[in-house]
Amino acid sequence: VTPPRSQQQVPTSPFKTPFRFGMGSGNPFSVPPTPGVPLDIPLGIPIPLSQELFVPTQELSETELNMTVEEWVRYHMQIEYDKFKEDGEREIDLFQKRAEQVRKTIGAL
């Protein structure tokens, strides 16, 4: 037997929105995301592209309508891959710039 919850926990960000089937008019995806920003991301720092929320579209483009499900999934996988790649390249650039600054500081000693 599961003990009852003392309080109902209210989600504070879209990442913690509960997902329940049967809500809405037969559409299991009709639960709107909870407004707010994730608490673990400091304000003023850009969110990496790979951590942006996936925003489902209301309508598919003509190209997407002509895709099979597998092609559509692969298409979106490529989009996410490109986001991760861009984030990684940005991190490498930042690391190399910082390493160059440290080299110059050490060289000046």
Residues 6+ apart with CB under 8 A from 34: 10, 11, 12, 13, 14, 16, 17
Q: Structural domain boundaries of the chain? A: 9-45, 46-109
- 64 and 72 in contact (C-beta within 8 Å)? yes
Q: Find out whether 3 and 27 touch, Cβ atoms under 8 Å.
A: no
The residue-averaged pLDDT of 77-92 equals: 90
Q: How many CB atoms lie within 10 A of CB 17?
A: 15
User: To which residue do tokens 């190209």 refer?
Assistant: 63
Question: What gap in Å lies between CA 84 and CA 90, rounded to an integer?
Answer: 10
pLDDT band at 19 (very low <50, low <70, confident <90, very high): very low
Look up residue 28 and give its two tokens. 């299991």
Query: What pLDDT score does 80 carry?
Result: 87
Residue 23 banded pLDDT, cuts 50, 70, 90? very low
pTM of the model: 0.48
pLDDT for 40 = 56
User: Any idea which residue has 């390249």 for tokens?
Assistant: 89
Q: What is the identity of the amino acid at 51? A: Q
